[in-house]
A = this chain, B = another copy of it.
């Protein structure tokens, strides 16, 4: 069973996933996956994954067989597991929980060697629809405080599988980064009775210099204080706190914006490795309604996607300070991305 440990200095949780353990010289490194090994995410290899949680199968047919368009399976080496009750205990000055949670993989396509941005827009819609379905389903488990949707694409972005996929990790505590965003949004709202993210979007749309794609329902921009070159922020124009409540029309628009942005990044930066993550509210069902988080969360939080092309390594300065050095002014990055010609 994995366990969660709390660092009282940085106040962050760590998952000690000892099922993934290996002797020191066999630990994963920045290196290629063995060539020629069959891919468990390819159509026809369904038996190589744990049994599927759900799949999009327009023509029906049995589970764990070909005929799917999007497929969701448990991670074979999960960072957290769904079994058991959550137990919390003190270890002297430290805190420990057992590793209750969920870790799922969304296989985005049957094709082994295709970039998410190159998939047809209808397929990207199905993928986003699948994210929503999984978030709604996982939220029924009251042990799970937060569900993080994230994508690792490329070796240096931490992807161990080349076949395009997204992951969801559901954790029994709200992660530090999300808690920080919730806190900032709440402080801003209490001060001004406005959403911090809506204020930022309004300012960016007024100025225009950091806008990459200005769609009917979604805006993609390079944040004013971008940590990384060509970092992208995508948010719905209309205020909404919860990705899990995205409607079908918004899914269609988001698929178009996401495809557009991913293709611009791919062309502009010569197909870099990248990560993206979705930040939405914690699982309301898992937290008493009257705690500080919830009183205004519908008004103060605004869900969004962060995309990070992985160009340079994060080094000692960033690790030691939480400060970032970015060589590319975001205004310049936005201009380069806007100038990309898509057919």
Contact = CB atoms under 8 A, between A and B. Distances in A.
A258 B38 CA distance: 44
A7 B317 contact: no
Q: Which of A148, A158, A230, A325 has the most chain B CB atoms closer than 10 A to its own CB?
A: A325
A18 B330 CA distance: 10
| Copies of this chain present | 2
B167 A92 contact: no
Contacts of A315: 150, 152, 157-159, 275
A316 interface: yes
A254 interface: no
Chain A contact residues: helix, strand, loop or mixed: mixed
The size class of the interface chain A forms with chain B is: 35 or more
Given A203-B93, A225-B5, A320-B277, A14 B308 contact: no
Interface string A11-23: 1111111101111
A22 B167 CA distance: 33
Q: Nearest 7 A-B pairs (CB), nearest first?
A: A158-B315, A277-B320, A150-B316, A175-B321, A176-B322, A20-B327, A275-B316
Interface of A: 5-18, 20-25, 27-30, 79, 91-94, 146, 148, 150-152, 155-159, 167, 169, 171, 175-178, 180-181, 184-185, 188, 196-197, 199-200, 203, 223-227, 229-230, 268-270, 272, 275-279, 306, 308, 310-330, 332-333, 336
